[in-house]
Amino acid sequence: MNLAITTWNINSVRLRFPIVKDFLEAERPDILCLQETKTPDDRFPANDFKALGYLHQAFVGNKGYNGVAVLSRLPFTARDAMQMCGRADARHQSVTLAPDARKAAGITIHNFYVPAGGDEPDPVVNDKFAHKLAFLADMDRWCGSMTPTSRPAILVGDLNIAPYETDVWNHKQLLGVVSHTPIETQTLEKLRADHGWIDAIRTHRPEPERVYTWWSYRAQDWKAADRGRRLDHVWLSPDLGPKLQMTSIHKQARGWDRPSDHVPVTVRLAL
DNA sequence: ATGGTTGTCATACAA
């Protein structure tokens, strides 16, 4: 069977529902992972997703900020929402696919929304940057606590870091900009490699190709300027590496009506 | 060096 998983920082799931619906009807991924839903659980558009076939849902949200959701056509059993850095701020949601999810049974999907980190890349003067670094340290400890029963696993989400030189439009110019500073890029790359995660996007689109998943709202013409960053990621546990079939970055979504500043990223596995 | 935009909720603040 094929398993398709999409990750998308949606920047308000309620405002953006029309384009999410268009995307799901066209692409039909098995699982959609959203970040920045900005919606408390009692106002999450659960029935709208059910009407599209996404019957199995796990989400946590806050009013106006953060929030993650996993919407699935396949059934899942376990679910978990970790309190990263000890905060109940809705930045993680995982599900484990059920025995009747056929060959995908037992795969755990972790959906993360790493803090953006504010403007000043100095943890001493900027609490938000300190939080981002603490969050990465938490992720590192959590990866270290994974056991054979934690796998197979897929980690997706808005990690708010562009780790490689060709993950940004201008490496030198962004070295001091939060999302591409050495402390962030080195910490993320070490965390990924230390725990054996496979960077699915870069497997199919290796450096030096420039690959972006986010374009700022502040550009007059995002497409002409093309000043993007690769902030959204899909990581596979080592056992899933050989199953990776295809990755798609749906760049056209940045040009849709009332777009998110992030575009959907889909991976397909042949199980 | 600076400001540029968007979303939530209706004012600053986060991104």
Domain spans of chain A, in order of start: 2-270
Q: In the prediction, which pLDDT does A265 show?
A: 98
Query: What CATH class has A2-270?
Result: alpha beta
Residue A183 burial (C-beta neighbours within 10 Å; 0-12, 13-18, 19+): middle
What are the tens digits of pLDDT across the range A5-30? 999 999 999 999 999 999 999 999 99
Instruction: Provide the positions of strand B that have an atom within 7 A of a protein CB.
Output: 4-9, 14-15
Which nucleotide lies nearest residue A217, CA to C1'? B5
Cα–Cα distance, A90 to A70 (Å, whole number): 12
What are the tens digits of pLDDT across the range A153-185? 999 999 999 999 999 999 999 999 999 999 999
Handedness of CA A256, A26, A202, A69 (dihedral sign): positive
Q: In the prediction, which pLDDT does A264 show?
A: 98
Answer for the pair A177, A231: CB distance below 8 angstroms, yes or no: no
Which nucleotide lies nearest residue A216, CA to C1'? B5
The amino acid present at A236, given as its one-letter code, is L
Residue nearest to nucleotide B3 (CA to C1'): A218
Cα–Cα distance, A191 to A186 (Å, whole number): 8
| pLDDT, mean of residues A44-49 | 98
A218 CB contact with strand B at below 7 Å: yes
A116 CB contact with strand B at below 7 Å: yes
What Å value separates CA A259 and C1' B3? 22
Residue nearest to nucleotide B15 (CA to C1'): A116
Q: In the prediction, which pLDDT does A203 show?
A: 98
* Helices and strands, number each (H, E), in chain A: 7, 14
| pLDDT, mean of residues A60-85 | 97
A128 CB contact with strand B at below 7 Å: yes
Q: In the prediction, which pLDDT does A65 show?
A: 95
Number of Cβ within 10 Å of residue A216's Cβ equals 11
What Å value separates CA A38 and C1' B7? 9
Q: In the prediction, which pLDDT does A76 show?
A: 98
Q: In the prediction, which pLDDT does A131 show?
A: 97
- Mean pLDDT, chain A, rounded, equals 97
Answer for the pair A157, A91: CB distance below 8 angstroms, yes or no: no
Q: Alpha-carbon Rg of chain A, whole angstroms?
A: 17
Cα–Cα distance, A169 to A228 (Å, whole number): 6
Q: In the prediction, which pLDDT does A73 show?
A: 98
Which nucleotide lies nearest residue A64, CA to C1'? B8
Write a three-state SS string for A122-161: CCCCCHHHHHHHHHHHHHHHHHHCCCHHHCCEEEEEECCC
Q: How confident is the model at residue A187 (pLDDT cuts 50, 70, 90)?
A: very high
A221 CB contact with strand B at below 7 Å: no
Cα–Cα distance, A245 to A251 (Å, whole number): 19
Q: How confident is the model at residue A97 (pLDDT cuts 50, 70, 90)?
A: very high
Q: In the prediction, which pLDDT does A100 show?
A: 95
A258 CB contact with strand B at below 7 Å: yes
Q: Which residues contact residue A17 at a Cβ distance below 8 angstroms, ignoring those fewer than 6 apart?
A: A45, A48
| pLDDT, mean of residues A114-132 | 96
A86 CB contact with strand B at below 7 Å: no
Q: In the prediction, which pLDDT does A229 show?
A: 98
